[in-house]
Amino acid sequence: MTVTLDDTKRMAIATQLAEMKALQQMLITNEQRLMDAISDNDIHQRLQTMLEQDQKNLGVLETVMIQHGVPSEPKETTEHHLEKIQSLMEGSELTLAEKVLQHELLKHQQTMAGLVIHKAAQSVGADVEAAIAPLHTVNFENRAHQEQLKGIVEILGVGELTGQEPDQGVWARVEDAVAALTGVVGSVVTRTDDEMSIRDLLLMDHTKADILFAEILGSEDPHKIQEYFAQLYQDVKVHGLAEEEILYPALSPYYNQMQEIVDQTDLVLEMLDAMKPLNPADPDFKTQVEHLRRAVRHHVDQEEQDIFPKLREHLSRDQQKRMASEFKAAKNRLQLKLQEQQQEDPSQPVSPTQTSQSSHRQRTQPWFMFMNYSLPWKTVFQTKAVINWVEAVILLLGDRWVRDVLHTEPLVNVEYSQLFYVIVFIIGIGYWWVSQDLSQNHGIVKLGIYAQFSVFTLLAYHTLIGHLHPFYLLSGILDLIFAILFSLFLYFHYKSHEST
C-alpha cells in the first residue's frame, strides 16, 4: 500500500495534539509559578481560575488524543523550544510583566494550534472531526485566557515602568472581551472533561465508529477505504477490549445478560480479524463491512439501552468519574500495544501512523504474505464447493457413460462409488458454509484438508499401479491444489490471531 495524503494528515494531527499536550503541561507549571510570584489578590484569583481550567483542559486534550486513536509524540524541535522558554520563565532575566507576556504568547500558540487542528480535521474526515470536537472548549477558553493575560500584562507592566497602577478600566475591558468570547462559545460544544462521564466517552466512540462505517461505505477509493478501515479496526478493537476490561465486569452484578454482551464483543473482534486479510479493492469487502456494521450496531443498541442506564442507577458520580479515567487509561495502553504489534507484524491492517514505516517493510515480506492480501478466500471456498457439487452430480448420474467414453470396465459395486459421491456433495455444502463467514467453521476446513489429501493419495496410488484411468487423477490433483490453499488459509488466519 502506498502512503496516502490523508494518512500523513492523520499522523500530523496526532503529533500536533501531542505538542498541544506538552505545551498545556508547561502552561500549568507557568501559572503555578506566576501565582507564587504575584501578590495582587485580584490577579491571583484570576490565575487560580485559569489554572483550574487549564488542568481540566489537559484532561480534555488527553481524551481527544485517545479519541483520535493515533498515538504520537511531540517533535524534538518543539521540546527543545519549550525547554528554552521554561528556563527563561524560571530565571531572573525577565521581569514579572515580561513573564506574563511570554505566557500570553504561549497561550496564543496553543490557541492557534487548536484552531489549525480543527481546520485540518475538517479536510481529513468526519471521524477525526468527531474525535477532536471537545477541543472547542480548550480553544475558546484559551482565547478568553489570552484576554485576561493581556489585562495582567498591562497592570504589571505599567506598575514596573511607572510604579503606579494603570487607569482604572483595565479589568472592565478584559471582562468585555471575555464576555464577547463566551458569547461566541455559546453555540459551541462547551462540555468539560469533568463533566465528560464514562457514558459520554462510550458514546463518542460509538459515534466515531458510525462515522467511519459511513466513510468506508461511501468511498470508492481503495486507499481511502484502507485508511478508514485501519482506523476503524484500531478504534473498535481498543474500545471493545477496554469495555471488556473496565465496563462489563463492573456492571455484571446488575445485568444478567452480560455474557451475551461479551459474546457480541468477541464476535465483532473476530470479524475484524477475519477481515484483515481481505483486499479493500475487492467488491466483496464492502459486503463484509456492512456485515460488521450490523453486528456492531446490534451490540451498541443493546449496550446503550440496557447498560448505560445501569451506570447511573448503580454507580455514584465519583465511581463513574473513576471509571472514565480507567477507561481512558485502558484505551491508551491498548492503542500503544496495538501500535507495537503492527510494527512487528505487517499483516495487521496498516494504521495511519504506520504507513510510512511499513511501506518499505512490505517490500521485504515473504511471498506468502503478499498472497494473503491478494487471495480472495471467499471465492476459493465457493469454487471448491461448486467443483464438489458438479463432480458429484456428473459422476453419480453419468459414471457408466464416462466409463464407456474412457473404455474402462463398468463398476461391479456401484453403491460404494455412489456413497462416495454423495459425501463429496455434502462436503461441498460445508465449504459453502465456510465461504459465508471466513471466521467460522474452521473444523470443516481442516476436515476438507484431510479428505482432499486422502483422495489425492489414493487416486495417485491407483493410477500408478495401473488400476485407474488417469482421467480420474484430474480430480485428485484439483483436491491437492485446494488442500494446499485451505492449509494456507488456516496458516494465515492463526498467524494473524497469534499477534492479537
Residues that bind Fe ion (CB under 5 A): 243, 303
Closest CB to Fe ion among residues 194, 263 = 263
Least gap, CB of 292 to Fe ion (angstroms): 14
Least gap, CB of 243 to Fe ion (angstroms): 5
What's the CA gap between 428 and 392, in Å, rounded?
A: 9
C-alpha cell of residue 52: 483550574
Closest to 288 (Cα-Cα) out of 261, 270, 264? 270
Closest CB to Fe ion among residues 204, 455 = 204
Least gap, CB of 64 to Fe ion (angstroms): 19
Tell me which residue has its CB nearest to Fe ion: 243
What's the CA gap between 415 and 396, in Å, rounded?
A: 10
Closest CB to Fe ion among residues 235, 303 = 303
What's the CA gap between 76 and 496, in Å, rounded?
A: 34
C-alpha cell of residue 450: 484431510
Least gap, CB of 240 to Fe ion (angstroms): 6
Closest CB to Fe ion among residues 181, 203 = 203
What's the CA gap between 405 and 393, in Å, rounded?
A: 17
Assign 163 to helix, strand or coil: coil
Q: Sign of the C-alpha dihedral, residues 324, 326, 330, 335?
A: positive
Closest CB to Fe ion among residues 326, 399 = 326
Least gap, CB of 491 to Fe ion (angstroms): 31
- Which DSSP category does 252 fall into? G
- Which DSSP category does 282 fall into? S
Closest CB to Fe ion among residues 306, 399 = 306
Least gap, CB of 299 to Fe ion (angstroms): 6
Tell me if 132 sits within 8 A of 121, measured CB to CB.
yes
Number of neighbouring beta carbons within 10 Å of residue 477: 12
CA 349 from chain centre, in angstroms, equals: 10
Least gap, CB of 235 to Fe ion (angstroms): 11
DSSP 163-227: SSPPPTTHHHHHHHHHHHHHHHHTTS----TTT--HHHHHHHHHHHHHHHHHHHHH---HHHHHH
Query: Measured between alpha carbons, how far is residue 4 from residues 124, 220, 352, 353, 450 in Å?
Result: 11, 15, 9, 11, 43
Closest CB to Fe ion among residues 207, 343 = 207
Q: How far apart are the first and last CA of the chain?
A: 22
Closest CB to Fe ion among residues 127, 243 = 243
C-alpha cell of residue 358: 511499513
Number of neighbouring beta carbons within 10 Å of residue 44: 13
Least gap, CB of 313 to Fe ion (angstroms): 18
Closest CB to Fe ion among residues 106, 131 = 131
Least gap, CB of 326 to Fe ion (angstroms): 15
Query: Measured between alpha carbons, how far is residue 353 from residues 60, 148, 359 in Å?
Result: 22, 38, 11
Cβ contacts of 12 within 8 Å, gap of 6 or more: 120
Closest CB to Fe ion among residues 303, 391 = 303
Number of neighbouring beta carbons within 10 Å of residue 467: 10
Least gap, CB of 217 to Fe ion (angstroms): 20
Cβ contacts of 66 within 8 Å, gap of 6 or more: 328, 331, 332, 335
Closest CB to Fe ion among residues 55, 325 = 325
DSSP 321-387: HHHHHHHHHHHHHHHHHHHHHHHH-TTSPPPTTTHHHHHHHHHTS-HHHHHHHH--HHHHHHHHHHH
Closest CB to Fe ion among residues 54, 243 = 243
Closest CB to Fe ion among residues 139, 234 = 234
Residue 24: phi and psi, rounded to 5, are: -60, -40
